[in-house]
Amino acid sequence: MSDQLGFNKMAGAALGTLLVIFGLGEVLNIAFAYKPPAKQGYAIAVQEDTSGAAPVDLPIDWGTELPKADVNAGKQVATKCQSCHNLDQNGPNMTGPNLWGVLGRQPGTHPGFAYSDGMKAFGQKQPIWDYAHINQFISGPQAYIDGTKMTFVGLKQRQDRINVIAYLHTLGSNLPIPAPAPAPKAAASSAAPAASGSAAASGAPASGAPAAASAASAAQSSASTAPAPAGK
């Protein structure tokens, strides 16, 4: 009697195990069966994401962006900086150095501030804070300058950085605003409407849709892809 019970238990356990194994297999099958559509979904999402995230990598044409920047919005963004930086002329150093006139001055040289070795070294190879370098710095200070004391997460929005830099420029900076870059970018941006509007007229007859798509990506990755579809 007890032997038979034992056998039943073992048989039950074995069957149960088999059930779990096959069940697991089924579950995996289902999971894998559903993967392809899930991937397609992500592929679309990634495309949308890159268009949103691309500006981080897109070189900024300061001659075009600064004149149309929203200085008041930049002043708002700068309140984030003011927990550590004073922005007034002859203002004090705080957690960070005073930033009056920072655009155009040599990095790591404001009197009376104890800069990190990382910032001092940066100032040795980079003679001034120009638009491009300050932009990279404030987008992720610690990723950009090894060992900096600026424990600020960074401004992830491209337009926030442009606006705050435009605002900093109003604070005692004598750094000139460069002329807008005319050649490659103008061609790319005028190619975008042309491609979507009349592909044939702009001399891109073979592929209207790819031309529009690559015009968009050309705008994102700037120079490299622009000449092929749009330039000629």
Residues lying near ligand HEC in the complex (CB under 6 A):
80-81, 83-85, 95-97, 99, 102, 107-108, 110, 115-116, 118-119, 129, 134, 138, 148-152, 155, 164
Between residues 169 and 185, which has the closer beta carbon with respect to ligand HEC?
Answer: 169
Q: How far apart are CA 129 and CA 26, in angstroms?
A: 61
Smallest distance from ligand HEC to CB 133, Å: 9
Smallest distance from ligand HEC to CB 68, Å: 20
Smallest distance from ligand HEC to CB 78, Å: 6
Q: How far apart are CA 162 and CA 151, in angstroms?
A: 20
Give me the helix-helix angle, 71-78 and 158-169, nearest 10°: 100
Between residues 69 and 230, which has the closer beta carbon with respect to ligand HEC?
Answer: 69
Between residues 86 and 148, which has the closer beta carbon with respect to ligand HEC?
Answer: 148
Smallest distance from ligand HEC to CB 44, Å: 33
Smallest distance from ligand HEC to CB 165, Å: 8
Between residues 118 and 229, which has the closer beta carbon with respect to ligand HEC?
Answer: 118
Q: Tell me the torsion sign for CA atoms 199, 203, 207, 213.
A: negative
Nearest to 192 by CA among 214, 159, 224: 214
Q: How far apart are CA 115 and CA 146, in angstroms?
A: 13
Distances 164 to 6, 85, 161, 228 between C-alpha atoms, Å: 77, 13, 5, 35
